Amino acid sequence: MKAKHYITITVLLIIVGFVYFRYYWVFADGTKAGVLNTFQRKGYIWKTYEGKIIQSGFKANIQSNEFEFSVVNERVAKTLMENSGREVELHYKSYFGALPWRGMQTFIVDSIYQIRNANGETIIRPKNN
């Protein structure tokens, strides 16, 4: 009876560990910059904020210059919604898997570093800590 109990606990720990590392452990984080192409709120059951930036640089068929992301924070989403078409610099976290209530993408934008006008004038500046 004890062996069955230990096997059950071990299997549960493996499942919990898999779920944690797949959906909650931050694999990477960094910044991306480009022109905010689209930003929208969409979904059938969970309405999530989804966006896409077009990165500048060499454009070839080998690599996509689009960065698709989701946003959880309402304040960040509102700011991005108001600044479509402008050049942005965003901070993101990358997960191995997407959760439906967190967004459709594995890249989750959590803050905005800068937003610039078409003429290069900075609208939102980085915060100094």
Please provide the average confidence, as pLDDT, over all residues in the chain: 88
Supply the pLDDT for residue 2: 84
The boundaries of the domain holding residue 109 are 27-124
* pLDDT confidence tier of residue 129, bands split at 50, 70 and 90: very low
Tens-digit pLDDT profile for residues 73-95: 999 999 999 998 899 999 999 99
Residue 92: CB atoms within 10 Å: 21
User: What confidence score (pLDDT) does residue 97 get?
Assistant: 93
CATH at residue 64: 2.40.50
100 and 45 in contact (C-beta within 8 Å)? yes
Residue 67 falls inside a structural domain: yes
Mean pLDDT of 111-118: 88
Q: What is the pLDDT of residue 117?
A: 79
Please state, in angstroms and as integers, the Cα–Cα distance from residue 91 to each residue in 7, 62, 69, 83, following that order: 42, 25, 11, 16
Domains in the chain, number:
1
